[in-house]
Structure 1
């Protein structure tokens, strides 16, 4: 009989235990193994060479932090059954199972308005059928329908184990130390109040503020880095362009499953859509871009070369929108250089907006010594929380590097 209670050696958290056989069975399933071939951070490795880790890494790490958090809560007297623990670990393990190639970038392109969480839920339900209802509690927790609210908050909130893992993991693999949060300290401060919601012991306030500011720095320094934003934008434009060309009758070589989505009309997801989606990964898109570099279409060819050869277009970042006249000049130069009349395809303004901490949507509560709950931003002890509640937008103008220095 196979031993399924394995130990995994993780570079970020060390040794990770798999305490339930059903966890091992889900990890071994093809739906989950596909995550080994889905980048955790899209094309971030074009900017940070070490960022080659995958959704598989992240899901295992988040499962480990969930186990640690539940063990901490049990030590504080919170009653958690084996079935609840199993359900919460399964829910966080599968929370990203619906991600498509290159994670967030292409999910709307391939499956229209199907957000990865919708696909994750759909795949969880399919797995639940295969495993004879063993995922019932996990699905309830994932959807926020379980009667004890803190389980869903550990899965998805402004202070969840998903964020705790990806910040520490992405910091580790990119080498950006500003994101290196103390997950153990934060988890040790977690608690559950009388109404069954997740709270943080008041003395943990500075660890939480450090977590929120670390997340803000990681967004502006890593995820919303101007070249990172551009790389994600290029992926979307490549697939968009390919779908347009195919609809106009041009033949484009691609793997069978990617080809299926290029020709797919907008409609509700069918069984075939889902079956093919679960076989798609980063490799399909990379292979297509390698081939499309040589396309007769100047726009598609140029964008694919930008990614595959890392000939990244020029970017300028600003806190204000760019003037229309300035953009028009770039389009004119692009048309002249490439001998085309649709240079506006290659000159684009990208926006990125961040609200580091939302005081209205699932605010973080501190548990006072007298048992009262107090919102983080209302605490007299807070130092930074009131400074990270403002939304910030950055504007990035991108245009071909080849036109830099050309006279009008």
Structure 2
């Protein structure tokens, strides 16, 4: 029998854990691991305060979900106790599948398996341990529950996930422009025909939310220095896996070595692999990179040194695709300076693209409830800004190369 606990959060103040099942899930080792998973990956190399974790975020999401349930019930929306419990479980565990530094694993040593897929695997495993008490939460998480608004509260344009991470990430980075009034936004929510809507007087709060989201993506999540650091980390793990495949035994934790040694795709993510993944966190990667700085391999040694000592690559961001001529120029300069092959040089000279879309009307529209009872899309109601610009996908192109390569 667990006593209900109160947590002190720097964003919302006191957060109450709603019941003993939620408490038990929080206490589970799979969830406690999130204390060791950075919420914002390598962004702390840009914003020194950004050391908060997925654990902080998940607890904050539960707090906001409690507020959303209370607001909707007050407005006459029927939400059963089972549905309420399922909402708390789904939002609590929505990010439980994140690997070290949040996204780097998905693009390197785990073969095309998203964190959402791993989250679902964790939830199914926990469902067996908790006597099928997570079944309804899993249906909501997968978007399969017939009451659409419950799924939208977990994953939608105005879900509790976004409502927390924008406010939380703004706080820990010190980027005030990303700060949203999530509680005001939640107060404006309503449900019509099992669809989540926003009351007309909440239009300006929605606009602020979308603008903040766009700003946070360009200034924080896609910040050029953070982008370089994450790309370097992805390449560190890829190089480590290549060397392991060639028979080199790199010093690392048992969990990290398992993923370096084995080709793990979704079909290989059995219960045993999931348990090993559950013991993998940021500390495995940091400690490995500290050791790998002393490896003979030129690529691995230098990539690790760049991250550990924050001596990162230079990056240029353009509105048009990077010309092949520019890439080849940097490659040739690096190959000549360090006497390495083109394959090795491509770890230090590379290009790519980033994109940002603050509002996605095609997939999940934000609907407004007029005082008359009529429902309309936010595009028609908003008179403060042109949502067309926020709906447009903006793509930029980048080229990374060593600082000494500048001519």
TM-score norm. by structure 1 comes to: 0.96
Q: Is the 8 A contact 2:32 2:55 kept in 1?
A: yes
SS at match of 1:198: strand
Please state if 1:359 is matched with 2:357: no
The match for 2:241 among 240, 243, 247 is 243
Q: Mapping of 1:115-264 within 5 angstroms? A: 115-193=114-192, 195-264=193-262
Q: Is the 8 A contact 2:109 2:241 kept in 1?
A: no
TM-score norm. by structure 2 comes to: 0.96
Matching residue of 1:82? 81
SS at match of 1:345: coil
Q: Is the 8 A contact 1:359 1:377 kept in 2?
A: no
In the TM superposition, residue 107 of structure 1 has moved relative to its aligned partner by 2.2
Q: Deviations over 1:73-113 (max 9, x none)?
A: 11111122222111101110000111111112212433312
Q: Deviations over 1:2-47 (max 9, x none)?
A: 41x1100000111101121100000000000000000000010000
SS at match of 1:112: coil
Q: Is the 8 A contact 1:347 1:400 kept in 2?
A: yes
In the TM superposition, residue 250 of structure 1 has moved relative to its aligned partner by 2.1
Q: Give the distance between the partners of 1:304 and 1:402, measured in 2 at CA.
A: 18
Q: Is the 8 A contact 1:96 1:117 kept in 2?
A: yes
| CA gap 1:31/1:380 in 2 versus in 1, 3 angstroms | closer
Q: Give the distance between the partners of 1:53 and 1:136, measured in 2 at CA.
A: 30
In the TM superposition, residue 141 of structure 1 has moved relative to its aligned partner by 1.2
In the TM superposition, residue 380 of structure 1 has moved relative to its aligned partner by 5.5
SS at match of 1:317: strand
- Per mean C-alpha deviation after superposition, the further-off stretch among 269-278 and 254-263 is 269-278
SS at match of 2:219: helix
Q: Is the 8 A contact 1:330 1:399 kept in 2?
A: yes
Q: Give the distance between the partners of 1:186 and 1:384, measured in 2 at CA.
A: 20
Segments of structure 1 that go 5 or more residues without pairing to the other structure are none
Q: Is the 8 A contact 2:313 2:400 kept in 1?
A: yes
- Per mean C-alpha deviation after superposition, the further-off stretch among 305-314 and 393-402 is 393-402
Q: Give the distance between the partners of 2:144 and 2:364, measured in 1 at CA.
A: 16
In the TM superposition, residue 266 of structure 1 has moved relative to its aligned partner by 4.4
Q: Is the 8 A contact 2:109 2:238 kept in 1?
A: no
Matching residue of 1:377? 379
| CA gap 1:62/1:251 in 2 versus in 1, 3 angstroms | same
Q: Deviations over 1:334-371 (max 9, x none)?
A: 11221212223310112101111111101110011222
Q: Give the distance between the partners of 2:245 and 2:384, measured in 1 at CA.
A: 55
The number of residues matched between the two structures is 403
Matching residue of 1:277? 277
Please, what is the CA RMSD of the aligned residues?
A: 1.3
